[in-house]
Structure 1
Amino acid sequence: MTESLKLPDEGGTVREYQLVGTPIARPSSPPVFNRIAYAAAHVVSDPFRDADPWNRPQVDWETTMAFRHHLWSLGFKIAEAMDTSQRGMGLDWAGAQELISRSLAEARSVKGADLACGAGTDQLAAADTRSLDDVIAAYEEQIGFIEKHGGRAIMMASRALARVAKSPEDYAYVYGRILSQTKDKVVLHWLGEMFDPQLTGYWGSQSFEAALDCVIDIIEANRDKVEGIKISLLDNAKEIELRRRLPEGVLCFTGDDFNYAELIEGDGKRYSHALLGIFDAVAPSASKALAALAGGDTATFRAVIEPTVPLSRKIFESPTQYYKAGVVFLAWLNGHQSHFSLPAGMQSARGILHYADIFRLADRANVLDKPELATRRMKSLLGVYGIE
């Protein structure tokens, strides 16, 4: 029997919606890709211990780790403790340390599992930052923690650095100091202000061209310590230009949740690897598509992944920093967690019309793994908003 329910639309009308999607079958074993594919993973709140969610959010560690097993089973590497896990928006450095140590230990129990961990400066309040050396010390603490636990670092953009840096030379100084100390190669992270308004003017300029020059200079000066760079500007032309200018052997990881399908496929000469928050939400589809691409079947790659793009654009629509709500919403609909709540109560950052649109687009993209469960849970949410 086809599932149906009543959903509101932008005009304020509630209309009957009949589901049309077909769930994506799971592979019998983790597939092999010809692109490096990191899924930036969310954390699962514990609402039964969350007495003060804004100030002291609690994490359900068992379910959080189970979700990482789900991603590993589909062939993904995990980008741990990144902005998808609500770094600086519900998960502080103390919580990130526990997440990192638990995930690294969990990965060692799974054959072939791999992850890299976000290192930032979020233990240092931007308003309290006085010098570049403050920023350096904060990065050193976080990267030191990751390396002590056997992990590799993704060097996240720093709100504190954006506050105190006065020029591209200041960025070069900080990144050079940190990269000279790392044990392993590092992935850099260029996160646009649409994801975090406090990062406006990162790399010392609000001009993309000047910022790109700064980034390339930093990578050239530290080439032996940079595996690649993740770029999250939601602009495919800017990513293609960065990709064109990268030194040979330095990888481009797309963080473009609007245009990832075409950027991953590439233009026949160059392509992007992936480090994406949307892969958390559409993991079975992305896994099937990437496996097809690795097998030379671009038609299947496109047929499976392209329907997920409108869904991703809805989840990441402005104000983009609240995309985590849509990611967790789909985890709840698909049965990966028993409740729809986020650390710091961030589920309230989006409205019911947004969630209704996500439901429709997820169904049309074949992202609803258990249509009956998803329909039942969506009805319960609609009831909270007075839609019976």
Structure 2
Amino acid sequence: MAAHRKPRQRSAGGTTVRTAATVALAGAATATGFDGTGHAEPVRTPAQVKAEVDRLYREAEAATDKYNGVKEKADAAEARLKTLRDEAARRTEKLNTARDALGSMAAAQYRDGGLDPAVQLALTDDPERYLEGAEFVERVGTRQAASVADVREQLRAIEQLRGAARVELASLTSRQAELKRHKKTITGKLDAAERLLSRLSAEERAEPGEGTGERAARSAPDPRTPLAAPGAATGQAPDSRAADAVAYAYQKLGSPYVWGATGPNAFDCSGLTQAAYRAAGVSLPRTTYAQIDAGRRVSRSELLPGDLVFFYSGITHVGIYVGNGQMIHAPNPSAPVRLAPITEMPFAGATRVV
């Protein structure tokens, strides 16, 4: 007869400890490292770190573009709200004046309206003068009716203005909340990128071939001079505005990248192109996805100095073409405004500002 063994008792804490350890190791293995709590994150090469940083910067730039677009709409809503409030105040002042005039007419009518007109005619020593006065009163009555109608119209207009102002205020409040969400996304991406970059040495972080600063500015060609670009037609800036925009961009080489900035001392990518054309007397939209429609689309082989060049499938980055296969752009917070080949990012299209 087979003997039945009594199951061996396990330590009550042993299984718990091993399970907890397994969970802890699994958690450490999957930790991102962005919150400073993960200690078992796989070691990344500098190239991998920089690739991850580039991804975070692209996502931050996409969020920045959304922020800029919403801010543009919020600013417009705020301007409309101010206009509506100013107009409401002006009409209210006009209404108060009309009301005062109407009150004076009513008071005069009350004071003089106690006697029947026939009795007044009988009592007057000068019937001819009374008849002239009666005609005047009739005219006053007509003016009074017009004044009442004017007051009513002012009241309707003011109520419409207040209604429109309420709509604009609601729109502005909603957009301000949206701005906060985009800002939180941007700062989160940039902070994560900065933490990753802090793991690299200065040599590892440096990117070769950067043409920034005064040296590049001094060597800047005249944008009116024909330039040959690899894969692009030889040509010059199509007009003086494009040439002026290119000249402005060269002057800003070495300026820092700051998200949401439009100059004169710091820029984001679309802020730089907007400022360059603003200096040339041309108004561009604020965002990359709007700037690509601000002119005539041109192919890569048709590029001329001053053309706007766009990158990535979401049209999230823009630079200004300066010829010779080069552009000037504001890359990201880790690099200032600089010269770069248009081949360093996935090309998405180009626009000639007209």
TM-score by structure 1 length?
0.20
TM-score by structure 2 length?
0.22
The structure whose Rg is larger is 2
